[in-house]
DNA sequence: CTAAAGGTACGATAGTTTTCGTACGAAACA
DNA sequence: TGTTTCGTACGAAAACTATCGTACCTTTAG
């Protein structure tokens, strides 16, 4: 058996799980119905599939839920930023041997990064010291 | 059947596949034996497992190979930077709605990003215009 | 010439993730 | 009150990924 845990001791979310987290991050605590509707704006998913995923997410401790009503309300256990930090960390370690600046350079060399993005970043950097 | 293709029309590499790509990126075109030895410096993998993965990678069009010798030489079809660009793109789109500056900010707010990283980035930005 | 070493091919198994069907309870409503 | 609608629970199939055993071919050493 593999454990696949982050430093935080929470298993890292899979792809499908991440989709669900995004909805919860964007819209706050929600019912399965709501999340499923949101997902279906992008692709077809069966309601029970989403339900199952959210139950699994809860088993894993990534979500918790309020069961006081019949319509359970699901809530991410960790804050969006924290989870993203972990994923980002993993990403940097995997692809850039942990060098944030390497990743940055890749990003800056990428035509997808807009002028306004770059200005924004400069401003941020200047305000850092 | 799902296709899971990048904009480049190449399927995205899985985790185990990425490990192999990293070796090829670092050391250049290599035999299975060489790649397998490198992998085994980090974790135990059976030779035929690595072979199989590299064959799959070839089927997928991510690697090509020179079969003129008995010891086949495997070569990444796309350059390291290009592949990483795609993965990075995916990552940014998935987690940051495509905003590079959001990702940067996350990275900068992360204690993992060192002072020297930040200096490096500033220098890069200044030299950009 | 033969055995051993080392290569590829590939099916099968195991493990993981994703999806869905079915069961069944609670609420809404005609 | 019965039936339809909407919810949860959950097993199991389907899809994808990873690992390995076995077969078999080529090269090399003796």
Exposure string over A40-71, b if 16+ CB within 10 A, otherwise e: eeeeebeeeebbebbeebbeeebbebeeeeee
All domains of chain A in start order, with CATH: 15-76 (1.10.10.10), 80-126 (no CATH)
Structure tokens at A65: 């839920």
pLDDT for B109: 78
Q: What is the mean pLDDT of residues B58-64?
A: 96
Task: Give the percent of chain B with pLDDT over 90.
Answer: 60
- Is residue A78 predicted with pLDDT exceeding 90? yes
Q: Report the Cα–Cα distance between both ends of chain A, in Å, rounded.
A: 46
Q: Chain A partners of B21 at a C-beta cutoff of 8 Å? A: none
Residues A83 and A16: their CA atoms lie apart, in Å, by: 15
Cβ atoms of A38 and A83 within 8 Å: the answer is no
pLDDT at A100: 83
Contact B105 A118 (CB under 8 A): no
Q: Can you tell me the ipTM of this complex?
A: 0.84
Q: Which of B18, B85, B105 sits opposite A106 (nearest CB)?
A: B85
User: Rounded mean pLDDT of A93-110?
Assistant: 85
Rounded to whole angstroms, what are the CA distances from A28 to A45, A84, B21? Answer: 20, 16, 39
CA B89 to chain A, closest CA, distance in angstroms equals 8
Residue A7 has pLDDT above 80, yes or no: no
Q: What is the pLDDT of residue B2?
A: 35
Q: How far are the Cα atoms of A26, A41, A54 from residue A65, in angstroms, in the given order?
A: 17, 24, 10
Residue A71 has pLDDT above 50, yes or no: yes
- CA–CA distance, A104 with A106 (Å, rounded to integer): 5
Rounded to 5°, angle at Cα B99 from A78 and B107: 55
pLDDT class of A111 with cuts at 50, 70, 90: low
- Which has the closest alpha carbon to A58: A9, A19, A10? A10
Yes or no: say if A115 and A48 are a contact pair by the CB < 8 Å rule.
no
At residue A112, the pLDDT reads 67
Å: B75 CA to D15 C1' = 28
Quick check: A18 and B91 CB within 8 A? no
pLDDT at residue A110, as a whole number: 72
Residues 6+ apart with CB under 8 A from A39: A19, A20, A23, A45, A50
Residue B121 DSSP code: H
């Amino acid at each position: 058996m593999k454990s696949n845990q982050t430093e935080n001791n929470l298993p890292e979310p899979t792809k499908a799980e991440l989709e669900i987290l995004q909805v919860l991050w964007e819209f706050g605590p929600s019912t399965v119905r709501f999340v499923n509707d949101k997902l279906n704006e992008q692709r077809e998913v069966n309601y029970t599939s989403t339900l199952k995923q959210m139950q699994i997410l809860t088993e894993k401790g990534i979500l918790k839920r309020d069961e006081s009503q019949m319509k359970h309300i699901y809530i991410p256990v960790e804050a969006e930023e924290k989870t993203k930090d972990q994923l980002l960390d993993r990403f940097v370690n995997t692809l850039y041997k942990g060098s944030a600046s390497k990743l940055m350079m890749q990003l800056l060399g990428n035509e997808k990064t807009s002028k306004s993005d770059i200005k924004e970043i400069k401003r941020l950097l200047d305000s850092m010291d």
